[in-house]
Chains A and B, each alone.
Chain A
Amino acid sequence: MTTICVLYPDLLGTYGDGGNGLAIAERARRRGLDVELVSAGLNDEVPAAALYLLGGGEDGPQRLATDLLRTSSFAQRVGDGASVLAVCAGLQILGATFCVEGDDEYEGLGLVDVVTSRGERRSVGELATRVGDQLLVGFENHGGRTTLHGVEALGSVVKGRGNDGKLDGYRTKNIWATYAHGPVLAMNPWFCDEILSAVYGVELEPLPSVADRLYEERRRVLSA
């Protein structure tokens, strides 16, 4: 049984972030893969999992989530190879430092060498990121400006702001991070399957569904 764990939906679930767990678990199930979708609330231990999902959150909850993760087994498990999809606040939390209200340099988990400072203005709107020959589509709403140090970006921004107006997110061997918040896996079937394929270590056949039509529509709108 492969476990996918949504971390702290009570703190980091501001923008429909629960949709990512729902979409990836459902796409696994429809392919006959064994999957268990769990969530860990702020009073729970971080369970063992093959994939952790971190979402977006407001300042206070982001700080608390970081502190909880700092004293948990999370870093150890990621070091041992567990995969992570980190979105928005989640993207910032894995880095060295980030900004929250009252703190211009709050210490993150330091799993990835990225630094988030306060952006000149809030980034709110549709986000499209070129990832290889694919387009990642979604919506961003954050106040951060993220700088990468020796870490590969997830992709280059086609529309919207992402990290800094040029690049969005980052990518390591087992971490995917993007500012496209909420149901990014539901909207981007190819991205969902890329992560699923990596977590299970198998090649996946396409899985036709209405999500393909949604993706094509958003891609058309955001490429225009």
Chain B
Amino acid sequence: MGKSSPVRDQVASAAVRTVNRLSRMTGRGSGTVVGGRVGMKIAPDLVASLASGRTVILVSGTNGKTTTTSMVVAGWGGLVTTNETGANMPAGHVAALVESKSDHVALEVDEAWLADTLASTRPSVVVLLNLSRDQMDRANEVRHLAERWRKALEAHGDDQLVVVANANDPLVVYAAEVRANTRWCDVPTSWLADALSCPKCTLAISHVGSAWHCTCGFAKPVHVTTSLGDELVVDGTPVALDLVMPGEFNRSNAAMALTALHCVDVDLNEAVRRVNAIPSVVGRFSVRRWNGHVLRLLLAKNPSGFAAMMATLPNDGSDVWVAINARVADGHDPSWLYDAPFEMLRGHRVYCFGDRRLDLATRLDYARVEFVVVDDDTSVPTSKETISLLANYTAFSDWLARSES
């Protein structure tokens, strides 16, 4: 890789803009990835040179990346450079960094690209939300991912980097404990199925209340600086967290976003007011209309995401729609349906949509949940009630595109 050159970087940046504009005009894509790829062909160090001199906050983890990044953006206030379409690999980062010149940068990062992105963007803060099984055909094994995070953080030379890490996720703690400057966040974390066996020694981790430890000595960090119970406390200061968006997991995401902003000296009281007011993020939690139905769109991509999202459903026996695909962006293997606690949907009638609706219906059948396989979308009877629609990644995009606000 050659040394960075200002002229080449300018040419590359111009190419990114042009290609992305063309991509959008021709309707071939959302115009965030293809231009980035072209730019990096011209200037391989483009992310590094574009990020240089700016204050960067990175957000990574299995679930909540997009939402938490949006919270960082909103909480920061003013113009913030960000990859809001969720293009979270280097090409998407390049596109975001070219599009906006703001000195404040918030980027969500695919879990597998954390090492590269740490090295290229040299962030002030990296937020590590959680790690759990997701897209196993692509990422393989989640413990392996934790190991890679740990190695990346160990190798990272910048002592100024602050790691904002979830103290209740043993895999995150395993990765983040190698850094001296870690802000441990004691935030509710419900999914522990991937942290039953110790990432250090493989023996059983004991979870008692919110505490956890292994006999080998690996345990929940003692010195937490952010804690979230009924109220949020950051560095000893209560913060008035009161989100418009639903879900306990979103409160955890907000607590970590605010902690990150606190680390770059953003006023917490102003930040939390802006975060509280976020109505929805890229369509998530938004209420949409489709074919006479009123739908609340909920994105859930993996077992922990489904567990968290199903916990937000009203316990009123209402109909629930679930849409499942297994395309590239979803992972081709829908085995994870059996790791998600669909038994939580007992008492609801579930309409099964998506390419893999039969996999879903079979899962629900074995869970003894009432289901309807929807082979013809127009056959579903309409009702006046708002229906919760849970969908995984590409199914969610389909429903967002086909529905109206």
List chain A positions with a Cβ less than 8 A from chain B.
10-11, 13-19, 22-23, 26, 41-43, 58-61, 63-64, 122, 124-126, 139, 141, 181-183, 186-187, 209-211, 213-214, 217
Q: If A16-B339, A18-B339, A22-B338 touch, does A210 touch B141 (CB 8 Å cutoff)?
A: no
Within 8 Å by CB of B363, from A42, A63, A64, A186, lies A186
Within 8 Å by CB of A214, from B144, B358, B371, lies B358
> Which chain A residue has the least Cβ–Cβ distance from B192?
A10
Find out whether the CB atom of A16 lies under 8 angstroms from the CB atom of B336: yes
Within 8 Å by CB of B338, from A122, A183, A211, lies A183
Within 189-228 of B, Cβ neighbours of A (below 8 Å) are at: 193, 196-197, 202-204
Within 8 Å by CB of A210, from B137, B196, B358, lies B358
Within 291-340 of B, Cβ neighbours of A (below 8 Å) are at: 332-333, 335-339
Find out whether the CB atom of A187 lies under 8 angstroms from the CB atom of B362: yes
Within 354-369 of B, Cβ neighbours of A (below 8 Å) are at: 358-359, 361-363, 365-368
A-B contact pairs, 11 of them (CB 8 A): A11-B197, A13-B339, A15-B136, A15-B335, A19-B363, A41-B204, A59-B141, A126-B332, A141-B140, A182-B336, A211-B365
User: Which of chain B's residues have a CB closer than 8 A to the CB of A15?
Assistant: 136, 333, 335-336, 339
User: Which of chain B's residues have a CB closer than 8 A to the CB of A181?
Assistant: 335
Interchain residue pairs A-B with the least CB separation, the first 7 = A182-B335, A19-B338, A16-B338, A16-B335, A10-B196, A214-B358, A60-B202
User: Which of chain B's residues have a CB closer than 8 A to the CB of A58?
Assistant: 141-144
Q: How far is the CA of A58 from the CA of B193 in the complex (A)?
A: 14
Find out whether the CB atom of A14 lies under 8 angstroms from the CB atom of B136: yes
> Which chain B residue has the least Cβ–Cβ distance from A19?
B338
Q: If A58-B141, A58-B143, A214-B361 touch, does A125 touch B337 (CB 8 Å cutoff)?
A: no
> Interface size on B (CB < 8 Å)?
32
User: Which of chain A's residues have a CB closer than 8 A to the CB of B359?
Assistant: 187, 214
Q: Which of A10, A41, A126, A209 has the most CB of B within 10 A?
A: A10
User: Which of chain B's residues have a CB closer than 8 A to the CB of A217?
Assistant: 358
Find out whether the CB atom of A139 lies under 8 angstroms from the CB atom of B335: yes
Find out whether the CB atom of B362 lies under 8 angstroms from the CB atom of A124: no
User: Which of chain B's residues have a CB closer than 8 A to the CB of A139?
Assistant: 137, 332-333, 335
B133 part of interface (Cβ distance < 8 Å): yes
Find out whether the CB atom of A186 lies under 8 angstroms from the CB atom of B333: no
Find out whether the CB atom of B358 lies under 8 angstroms from the CB atom of A60: no
Find out whether the CB atom of B333 lies under 8 angstroms from the CB atom of A10: no
B243 part of interface (Cβ distance < 8 Å): no
Find out whether the CB atom of A64 lies under 8 angstroms from the CB atom of B202: yes
Q: How far is the CA of A124 from the CA of B140 in the complex (A)?
A: 9
Find out whether the CB atom of A17 lies under 8 angstroms from the CB atom of B197: no
7 extra interchain contacts, Cβ-Cβ under 8 A, other than A11-B196, A187-B359? A26-B366, A26-B368, A141-B136, A209-B365, A210-B361, A211-B366, A213-B358
> Which chain A residue has the least Cβ–Cβ distance from B352?
A210
Within 130-149 of B, Cβ neighbours of A (below 8 Å) are at: 133, 136-137, 140-144
